[in-house]
Amino acid sequence: MSLAWVLHQGENIVPIPGTKNISRVIENIAASKIALSADELKKLDEIAPIGSVKGERYPEGNLAHIDR
């Protein structure tokens, strides 16, 4: 469902999901066939509005050096 949401964010947004499992590839392709309604998109935006995610991308000492 999250990949379907990303696909609904505009034509200039292209998700690049990674996987090592063929069943996940099939699942990711299926996300392109999910049509989310305007009401569903609105509800998802209410759950996680833009700017609501805070904090570091990676825990300090783990992969934090990547964003520097």
Going from the C-alpha of 59 to that of each of 6, 9, 13, 55, the distances in angstroms are 24, 28, 26, 9
Residue 19: both structure tokens together:
């996987």
Q: Is pLDDT at 63 greater than 60 in this prediction?
A: yes
Report the candidate in 58, 5, 9 with the shortest Cα–Cα distance to residue 36.
Answer: 5
Q: According to the model, what pLDDT value does residue 66 have?
A: 65
pLDDT in tens, 19-44: 899 999 999 999 999 999 999 999 99
Could you tell me the residue ranges of all domains in the chain? 2-67
Residue 51: both structure tokens together:
């700017």
Contacts of 31 (CB under 8 A, 6+ apart): 1, 3, 4, 7
Q: According to the model, what pLDDT value does residue 65 have?
A: 62
